[in-house]
Amino acid sequence: MSLAFLRLARTAVRLPALALLAASQLPAQSGTPAAMTPLAKHDPRVEKITEAMHASKSPTWVALSPDGAIVAWTLRRTEGSQIHLTDVADPKKDVILRVGSREDCASSAPVWSPDGSALAFTSTCTPKSEKGEQEQIFLWTKRSGATKQLTHLTGNIDSLAWSPNGKSIGFLFVEDATRSAGALAAMKPWSGVIGEDGVEIQRGYGININDGRGNFLTPKDLHVYEFDWAPNSQEIAFVAATPPGENNWWVAKLYTRTLGSLLLCPSPTSDCNYNGSPTGIPRVILDPTTVSGPLHGLQIAVPRFSPDGSQIAFIGGIMSDQGSTGGDIYTVPTKGGVPTDVTPNREASPAWFSWVSSDTLGVAEIAKGKSHLFAYDIPSQKESSQYNVTLPETIRAGGLEMRISLSADSQSLAFIRSSFDTPPEVFAGPLSSMKQITHLNDGIKPVWGKSASVEWENEGFHVQGWLLYPANYDPSKKYPLIVEVHGGPSAAIGSSWGAGGALFSAMNYFVFSPNPRGSYGQGERFTQANVKDFGYGDLRDVLKGMDKLEATLPIDTNREGLTGWSYGGFMTMFGVTQTTRFKAAVAGAGISDWKSYYGENSIDQWMLPFFGKTVYDDPAVYAKSSAIEYINKVKTPTLVIVGDRDGECPAPQSFEFWHALRAEGVKTQLVVYPNEGHHFVDPAHVRDRDERMVNWFATEMP
């Protein structure tokens, strides 16, 4: 249901209109948190700890120049973000890339040209005469040091990529966008003809760097999620589906399209002719809904042309959210054909890769909650012994999950490293001798406790998770435990600064963040192990992990709590119907009834790979995992939290669970946050949510 989030539902005969009816029964919503019911008790420690947690500076994007000499990286500031250009050999040589004289703007997503002579990036640092916070594409030229604005568009710009010949920049573009493209952002208020009015389509777009002229590279009837340039710069590969885009990523196909002279068109309103015929009609290279073999019915991501253009590699697997990538790496001929799994039977989950040569891939994968980077020889299906390292930290470079930035010869790389113990910093250089480039957070220490990776066996599976100790841990004392289940379910919790329930650890709880079956990190068999079994095997994995912790640590078993967001919210709702082991629970953006959820959410296509059939064809498999079916077994006091415009896990699901608990006489409270989607963005709402969660556990598990 989301990158650490997820989606879930109830009755086969119900129609989507009931979602509107249920929403109308929710408590009155106002635009400010001040109008919400005030907290019964404030804990000043929460604000102090939260401030300490956010004291670190956060680099957000990294791009290594083709020669590996300069790292362009983005630093988020209170008033926006700025791009630094840092010398890898001498990191003290650091220059801030200035765009005009404005300070109240943000620049981000730097991407080097193939020859390293220029840097493209997005920025809101446009003249005051242009539209407020509209991002545009800018170009910085290394030789002159000058910056110029390339685009004057209105809409959402994302995923910049230079053509290999350096003459064009492609990107994803939603013209006249009113919201971010994707299911995590707040959905539009219901209005008009649903599914027909106001549908926003993300398309490929390209511009000529000399004059900024541009045109759409993909047709208006396809929503594009990712794309890649062919080595000849005359063709693109892209993953796309028919609109609406937030719903159909799970059934997206792999396409190619010949561009010809499309970038030289005089106007973006028409497809130009090239060689006397319409510019290349998109060609379906792979359709996972019809292909046979292990890829059938699964999802695809990260399309990449081979160096000679003869093949396209991609990641295929069962994935619950766009952007939360994991699976096996496949190749398919560019002209179409049978896909080949080139990383079969791995006990890990490749999340990102790049072609190093015609036979070699550079891969970043999730391996038992850690980050594994290595070179992979396709013919022999073996890892390189020279370029092979496992890091306990989480790594990222902006954009796709686990993306790293490579030099042209793939001998140097750059990314951001972050763990429970160390704040985020930029690193660069050869894999065997990477150098810390930034020292943004020297002296900053975690306010939460130490961390440890935990592994255990259950029902033939090897399972892993993370444990945070209480901040002021004393082994002679007993401490309460909070179990925090990640979203997805196709995702994984890793060691990352401030993640994994750090707030609760700082409040002197043990915090257990498991990666049960259904998670990434141990291969496709493990990730697919909860198909048609939501809430059962994965819950048993969680409980078994708790058994191991209780046997070795001073945990007060009378003070154990359960929480999670998205799929973790579902696991919380379902978990309290299956066991009375937890004395308190907080369910964030959860799913209480898979049957009704099917007709309420904006992303029902994600459910078929996990449930096998639609709710109308097999309502029993949906009912089996619905908390509402077992609601009379709940004894655990449960706080329920959701955003009123959540399209992934709609508010009626939380309303239904809260209503049922109240009817059953179980202590509960429902908090609905106005104008929030699946991912909360208002800092006031985030603070309010965190304090309510802390207060709930403190009150119910004193």
Return the amino acid letter for 314.
F
pLDDT digits (tens, 9 = 90+) for 624-659: 999 999 999 999 999 999 999 998 899 999 999 999
pLDDT tens string 380-437: 999 998 899 999 999 999 999 999 999 999 999 999 999 999 999 999 999 888 999 9
Mean pLDDT of 125-142: 83
pLDDT surpasses 60 at 6 = no
| C-alpha–C-alpha distance, residues 209 and 168, integer Å | 5
Q: Is pLDDT of 104 > 80?
A: no
pTM (2 decimals)?
0.90
pLDDT digits (tens, 9 = 90+) for 454-503: 999 999 999 999 999 999 999 999 999 999 999 999 999 999 999 889 99
Band the pLDDT of 40: cuts 50, 70, 90.
low
Average pLDDT over residues 556-570: 97
**Where are any strands of DSSP class E within 163-274?**
168-175, 202-208, 214-216, 223-229, 235-241, 253-258, 273-274
**How many other β-carbons are positioned within 10 Å of the β-carbon of residue 193?**
8
> Band of the pLDDT at 10, cuts 50, 70, 90?
very low
Quote the tokens at residue 685: 């709402």
Calpha distance 60→427 (Å, rounded): 13
Confidence of residue 43 (pLDDT cuts 50, 70, 90): confident
pLDDT at 556 over 90: yes
Tell which residue, 356, 347, 245, 250, has the closest CA to residue 301: 250
pLDDT at 536 over 60: yes
Q: Which residues contact 129 (CB under 8 A, 6 or more apart)?
A: none
Position 47 confidence tier, pLDDT thresholds 50, 70, 90: confident
At position 211, the amino acid (one-letter code) is: D
**DSSP state at residue 408:** T
Indicate if the pLDDT at residue 276 is higher than 80.
no
pLDDT at 243 over 50: yes
Domain extents in the chain: 17-54+444-700
Among 17-26, 226-235, 312-321, name the one with the lowest average pLDDT.
17-26
Judged by average pLDDT, the poorest of 53-67, 93-107, 131-145, 299-313 is 93-107
Strands in 202-208's sheet, in edge-to-edge order, are: 155-162, 168-175, 202-208, 214-216
CB 384 within 8 A of CB 375: yes
User: Do 422 and 393 meet the contact criterion of CB atoms below 8 Å apart?
Assistant: yes
Q: Which fold has domain 17-54+444-700?
A: Rossmann fold (3.40.50)
Question: Whose CA is closest to 261, among 139, 168, 126?
Answer: 168
Mean of pLDDT over the chain? 89
What's the rounded Cα separation, in Å, for the pair 382 and 376?
A: 6
Average pLDDT over residues 181-190: 66
Is the predicted pLDDT of residue 132 greater than 60, yes or no? yes
Which are the contacts of 373, defined by CB distance < 8 A and separation ≥ 6? 362, 363, 364, 387, 388, 389, 390, 391, 395, 404, 413, 431
